[in-house]
Each structure stands twice: as structure tokens, then as C-alpha cells.
Amino acid sequence: MKQKLQQRLNQLFDEIHREEFIQQKGIGSEVPYFIFDYDPKDEQRVRDFIQYLLDQSSYTIVEINLFKLMVSILEEEIEIVELFQLEAEEGFDELVESIRPILSDETFIDRIIQKAKTADIVLITGVGSIYPFIRVNEILSRLQEQTNFTKPVIVFYPGEYSDQQLKLFNRFPSDKNYRAFRIC
């Protein structure tokens, strides 16, 4: 993350508009998953860029906000008010443990795949908002298991990605290795 954010965002725009990026030429049999890490204090600038990208791109780009997706799935399973009550009565850790099984089933990944069906490129956002309910490594691993899902995916990550390790908000290190590539 040493380059200035605006320079990296400009490079990202140029990179994803290369024909080779969409066709994924040159990366062999690797999954086309990328991580764009950024300082969490730059969240609003990154959100503005994502909106610009969605508005200006000649490709079909679909943004999947993990927090919004989580809320929509939870609303189908349980009254949100019950979750607030659970947290008030049992605590945050119990809330997390109650929500995790709902997000661990195939519904979450199926929704991502369904939303991405018409996309040339998939942008995953809301990573910081969904922590600790589900982690990026879980999502990417489960997407990778889907042999029919080969679209380029860019995860916008508020934190640091280096040496195949993520550090959310520059504070919470992951204990997993990632097969995603750092982009720009």
C-alpha cells in the first residue's frame, strides 16, 4: 500500500479494462481472485471510486456488498429484532455464534453466484462490516470450490494484504493463506 491511493485506483481502473483481465489470459489455472487492500481511513474514497467504476465501465460490473447480503439472508431466517434481543441478553459472542451457521450454509455462496451471473467482473465490498460473522477466506475458498464460477473477483479489503496473509483494519491478522493476487 505504499503508492498513493489515487494512483492505485487509477491503475485498477486501467487494469480491469484490459481485455486480458476479463479473459484471464496469462494466469494459468489459478483462480481469478484479486484483493485490493487499502487503509481503512480511506473507506469513503474507495466507495466513491467503486461507484465511479460501476457508472463508467464499459463492462458489466456487479458489486456484492457482503453486509447487505448478510442482512437480507438473516431477514429471511429470523426477525432482526430477535438478533438485537439475543445480543442484549446473551452478549455479542453468542450473537456471532448464532449467525455463523446461517452464513456457513450454501445459501450465502449461492446468492453471490446468483448475483454475479450476468457480470464480467465481480466486486466484493463490505468486508469490514461483516467481520467477525464470516471471513474473506471462507468466501473465497467456497467460491473456489464452485468449478463453474470463474469470473474475475476483486475483494476491496480495508486493511493490509501481504505474503498471502490478510490483516483486517491493519489490526486483526488472519490465520489462513490466500490464493488471491494483490491487484495494484
Q: Could you tell me if 137 and 172 are in contact, meaning their C-beta atoms sit under 8 angstroms apart?
A: no
Q: How far apart are CA 91 and CA 67, in angstroms?
A: 20
Q: What is the pLDDT of residues 77-136, one digit of tens each?
A: 888 899 889 999 999 999 999 988 888 778 889 999 999 999 999 999 999 888 888 878
- CA–CA distance from 31 to each of 8, 54, 107 (Å)? 22, 23, 22
pLDDT digits (tens, 9 = 90+) for 43-89: 999 999 999 999 999 999 999 999 999 999 999 888 889 988 999 99
- List Cβ neighbours of 45 (8 Å cut-off, separation of 6 or more): 5, 6, 9
Q: Which cell is 138 given?
A: 471462507
Whether 71 contacts 79, CB under 8 Å: no
pTM for the model stands at 0.86
